[in-house]
Each structure stands twice: as C-alpha cells, then as structure tokens.
C-alpha cells in the first residue's frame, strides 16, 4: 500500500506542490542531480550493463545482485537510480528498442513497411533472446517504444483501419512476432546454448514421444510423424525458419491492402 493515510499528512490546497508522487512511471521521474556527491552511474549505464549481462547469460541472469556486480557497485546502490527491478526491465526494453532502424517517413506501401519492421523485430529478438520472456507483460511505453509506435501508426495512416483497430494491430503484430520467435527458440534449444540439462530434457522428450507414438494411440500423430520422417526432414534437423517466418508474417498482415 502506498496511498495509505500516513503519506502527505497535510496537502496544500492550491499549491502546485509536487505532492508526494505516490506512483509514477519511470519515464517521468527525473534523473535528480542535486546536492550530494556526484552519482557514480546513470540509469542508462546501468540498463546498458544489464542488457549486456542478459545478452551473455540469459534472462535468468537479470538479478539486482548480478547487475550490481557487473557495474561494480553494491546491490542496494541500484535503487538510487531505479525504483524497482520492473522499472529497470522497462529501461532495458526501451534501450533495446532503439536498435530499430526506422525510415524518416513511411514509404506509402504499408505492407512493405510492416514486413520490414517485422523482420527487424525478429532479428532484434534473436540478438536479445531475453526479450521474449521480458515482454511477457505489455511493456510501459518509453521514449524509443513511443517513437516506434508513432512510426507504425504513421505507416497505418494509409489504411482504412479504425483508430482502435490500429492500436490493436500494433499490439497483435508485436505479439505475433514474439510468439513466433519463442517457438523458434524452443525448437532450436537442441544444439543451442544452456547446454547440459536442456539437451538432456529434450532428449528425454524425444524418447518419450517415440515411445508414445510406437504405442499405437494417437494414430494421426504417428502418421504425420512417419510422413515427416519419410520426407527426410528428421525432427532433429533445422527447419527453414526464415521461410516459415515469411509465410507466417505475410499471413498475419492480412490487415493492410
């Protein structure tokens, strides 16, 4: 509880008082710089270090203690810059979103523009796989995400979508990309990093699946698996995810002419 009675025991009735700022979005609380000793870091440098850490060691490496170690400070010092870990995650996401290469203006062909954005988005998620779990909740709109959204809305201007549908399109496209990459990464964990236990787990899954298929129930599954094996694409082989993505995203773009 933050709005309980103990806070701001007496408010000025007219004053433009900053009140107590009970709950503010990270983007509008200032980067202070006031009386005391000069801060050793900035939000940006901390977020940058956190992104580096997550890129190298994965989503689960994003902990306040490890980030603090990465920037070379005490754990609790981070809270001088960021009110909570969730806010730091917002900063990380927004920082990474800056990697989008947005044209000055839409080309006039919404389909082409959105397709380009989708490809960039997929590439971005590949560069920063931790983004997939990090985006699980709808992210708060930092400056870069706002720029991105604004650009997409500009692209959609050449469309006959109603306003609500435009927001909807933005969200669902991004969700679709995330969903696809999530699927893609899950398929790829076979030879990918995180090595030991993941490989074992996958192997156990494969063995179990084979056993179940051989068992006789699930005839359709058995049949399709057999066809698949006969077709030469054994389940361990790398599928053509690029082509898959193209088909998937083109289908999803049934919204623009």
Q: How far is residue 26's CA from residue 98's CA, in Å, rounded to a whole number?
A: 17
166 binds a copy of itself (CB under 8 A): yes
- List binders of DNA among 84-143 (CB under 7 A): 84-86
User: Considering only residues 17, 19, 25, 40, which one is a binding residue for DNA as defined by CB under 7 A?
Assistant: 40
59 binds DNA (CB under 7 A): no
Task: Name which of DNA, a copy of itself, none residue 58 binds, using a CB cut-off of 5 to 8 Å depending on partner kind.
Answer: none
Q: How far is residue 225's CA from residue 240's CA, in Å, rounded to a whole number?
A: 18
Q: How far is residue 75's CA from residue 170's CA, in Å, rounded to a whole number?
A: 37
Among candidate residues 202, 196, 185, 163, the one with its CA nearest the CA of residue 239: 185
User: Considering only residues 52, 65, 157, 193, which one is a binding residue for DNA as defined by CB under 7 A?
Assistant: 65
33 binds a copy of itself (CB under 8 A): no
Q: How far is residue 23's CA from residue 34's CA, in Å, rounded to a whole number?
A: 21
What's CA 250's distance to the chain center, in Å? 21
Torsion region of 108: left, alpha or beta (phi above 0 gives left; psi -120 to 50 gives alpha): left
Could you count the other beta carbons within 10 Å of the beta carbon of residue 129? 19
Task: Note whether 35 and 46 are within 8 A (CB).
Answer: no
Q: What is the residue whose two structure tokens read 């990459």?
A: 181
User: Considering only residues 191, 193, 200, 238, which one is a binding residue for a copy of itself as defined by CB under 8 A?
Assistant: 200
Task: Name which of DNA, a copy of itself, none residue 64 binds, using a CB cut-off of 5 to 8 Å depending on partner kind.
Answer: DNA
Tell the smallest beta-carbon distance from residue 44 to a copy of itself (Å). Answer: 19
Q: Residue 27: exposed, middle, or buried by beta-carbon count in 10 A (0-12, 13-18, 19+)?
A: middle
- List binders of a copy of itself among 219-248 (CB under 8 A): 219-221, 223-225, 227-228, 231, 233, 239, 244, 248
52 binds DNA (CB under 7 A): no
Q: Residue 91: exposed, middle, or buried by beta-carbon count in 10 A (0-12, 13-18, 19+)?
A: buried
User: Considering only residues 6, 12, 23, 160, which one is a binding residue for a copy of itself as defined by CB under 8 A?
Assistant: 23
60 binds a copy of itself (CB under 8 A): no
What value does the CA radius of gyration of the chain take, rounded to a whole number of Å?
A: 24
Tell the smallest beta-carbon distance from residue 103 to a copy of itself (Å). Answer: 14
- List binders of DNA among 169-198 (CB under 7 A): none
Tell the smallest beta-carbon distance from residue 71 to a copy of itself (Å). Answer: 27
Task: Note whether 69 and 118 are within 8 A (CB).
Answer: no
User: Considering only residues 38, 138, 214, 257, which one is a binding residue for a copy of itself as defined by CB under 8 A?
Assistant: 138
User: Which region, judged by CB under 8 A, interacts with a copy of itself, from 48-56, 69-77, 92-100, 218-226?
Assistant: 218-226
Q: Which residues contact DNA by CB under 7 A?
A: 32-41, 62-66, 73-77, 79-81, 84-86
């Amino acid at each position: 509880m933050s709005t309980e009675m103990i806070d701001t025991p007496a408010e000025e009735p007219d004053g433009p008082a900053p009140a107590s700022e009970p709950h503010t979005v990270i983007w509008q609380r200032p980067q202070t710089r006031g009386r005391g000793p000069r801060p050793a870091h900035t939000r940006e440098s901390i977020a940058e270090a956190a992104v580096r850490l997550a890129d190298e060691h994965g989503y689960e490496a994003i902990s306040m203690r490890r980030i603090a170690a990465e920037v070379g400070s005490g754990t609790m010092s981070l809270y001088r810059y960021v009110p909570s870990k969730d806010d730091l995650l917002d900063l990380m996401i927004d920082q990474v979103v800056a990697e989008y290469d947005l044209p000055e203006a839409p080309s006039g062909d919404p389909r082409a523009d959105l397709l380009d954005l989708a490809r960039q988005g997929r590439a971005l998620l590949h560069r920063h796989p931790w983004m997939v779990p990090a985006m699980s909740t709808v992210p708060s709109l930092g400056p870069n995400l706002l720029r991105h959204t604004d650009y997409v809305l500009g692209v959609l201007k050449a469309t006959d979508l109603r306003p609500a549908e435009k927001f909807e399109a933005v969200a669902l496209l991004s969700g679709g990309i995330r969903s696809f990459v999530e699927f893609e990464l899950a398929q790829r964990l076979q030879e990918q990093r995180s090595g030991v236990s993941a490989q074992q787990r996958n192997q156990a899954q494969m063995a179990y699946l084979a056993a179940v298929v051989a068992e006789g129930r699930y005839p359709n599954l058995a049949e399709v698996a057999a066809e698949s094996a006969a077709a030469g694409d054994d389940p361990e082989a790398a599928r053509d995810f690029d082509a898959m993505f193209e088909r998937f995203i083109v289908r999803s773009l049934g919204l623009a002419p």
